[in-house]
Amino acid sequence: MVIGAQWGDEGKGKITDLLSRSADLVVRYQGGVNAGHTIVVDGRVLKLHLIPSGILYGDTLCLIGAGTVVDPKVLIAELDMLLENNIDTSGLKLASNAHVTMPYHRLLDKALEHDRGLRRIGTTGRGIGPTYADKSERSGIRVLDLLDPHGLADQLQPVIRQKNDLLQTLYGLEPLDPESVIKEYIAYGQRLAPHVVDGTRTIHTAAQNRKNLLFEGAQGTLLDLDHGTYPYVTSSNPVAGGACIGAGVGPTMIDRVIGVAKAYTTRVGEGPFPSELQGDLNHHLTDRGGEFGTTTGRRRRCGWFDGVIGRYAVQVNGIDCLAITKLDVLDELAEIKVCIAYELDGEVIHDFPIDARQFARCQPIFKTLPGWQMDTSTCRALEDLPANALDYLSELADLLQASIAMVSLGPERDQTILVEDPIHGPKRGLLSH
């Protein structure tokens, strides 16, 4: 499985795309349209939010699992975009028990965020939190409900009435028209019906037939609802354990966990960020790395690689090996820093503090390494990399106590160095600690 080892945006889409070559079924297990993957294939830039990037391989099935929340309007737009690019979408499957993001979820998400004022979280405003909230409150709409027009109308009438009361009374917003919403979502159900399946049965049938399964997480470890920088987190569980719940499998089905991390650190939205850079260096990384959100277009915050959160991600997920992305973004720097520990209230700590108030007080302790000031974007083997770049990668492997299996040096598929087979290789690669 592939998971993000930072605050998301690590380049999981490219890594999933590469690994999908040998996968028979790719499963997205959590999150919603608040996530985004940008894939570059033969010069074409494809942006996906719900559909796993494995869809680009004709023989690979792609399942949007029950743990995701699905905005059908966005999903249909993605299907149309792929069809316009002559990409076969018949391999897309959608779990019937995945929950659906409704118009009132988006309105409430934006209203709640505005109401928080200075305590805002920095959500995408796409309705993800309210959709998961309704799921927990057992008032949610599922994909299977969209396939039953009469049942959907009976379910939605009282729900929309309740949501309209909230929208009008609490937030002063215009109410939704129940009939229009019902009609719109019945049409979505008709369009998506050919893709709807029993997700658990699909996964276990593939496993029984000894097919290769690849589980794909959205966002990153530090955005996990339970294990991230709460409250500045997403509304689901991107960590490896979340795959078991979101896909409907037992932990024994997961053979290997591949963590994806940038060669530096970024995050979107609010919340503490100890290694964050300011000024020219921040702008350099943002501009050279194209650090703008796939979903929102927001400028990402950039900082040096944070080994403390990296080690935490390795521990929480049981990461077997790492894929380091965007190493080439550091090519022009004379010096590169790595956060190796924090200072908290005068004490040096090496472990990630769960308390957000403590985390906000953490000051980074850096180790400075020499840059390589050479173009690495054309390197295709370890021996092609400058010595200082190899030393930098070795430093990251030592710091995180995990081997590095892949190094990405640009957005194209071939701009990747395969150090070891990340799926079947040994758990200690050429750059292991």
Active site residues: 9, 37
> Is there a contact between 130 and 136 (Cβ–Cβ < 8 Å)?
no
196: nearest Cα among 95, 64, 100:
95
CA distance 77 to 163: 26
In degrees rounded to 5, what are phi and psi of residue 265? Answer: -130, 140
The burial class, CB within 10 Å (0-12 / 13-18 / 19+), for 222 is buried
> Is there a contact between 261 and 10 (Cβ–Cβ < 8 Å)?
yes
Q: Which residues pair with 305 in a beta bridge?
A: 338
Neighbours of 256 (CB within 10 A): 17
In degrees rounded to 5, what are phi and psi of residue 57? Answer: -105, 120
> Is there a contact between 401 and 311 (Cβ–Cβ < 8 Å)?
yes
Reply yes or no: is the peptide bond before residue 130 cis, omega within 30 of 0: no
396: nearest Cα among 262, 256, 222, 217:
262
Per DSSP bridges, beta strands 99-100 and 69-70 are parallel
Instruction: Name residues whose C-beta falls within 8 Å of residue 143's C-beta, 6 or more positions apart in sequence.
Output: 70, 94, 95, 96, 97, 98, 99, 100, 189, 192, 196
> Is there a contact between 20 and 417 (Cβ–Cβ < 8 Å)?
no
141: nearest Cα among 114, 104, 102:
102
Q: Kindly state the tokens that stand for 126.
A: 């796409």
> Is there a contact between 147 and 196 (Cβ–Cβ < 8 Å)?
yes
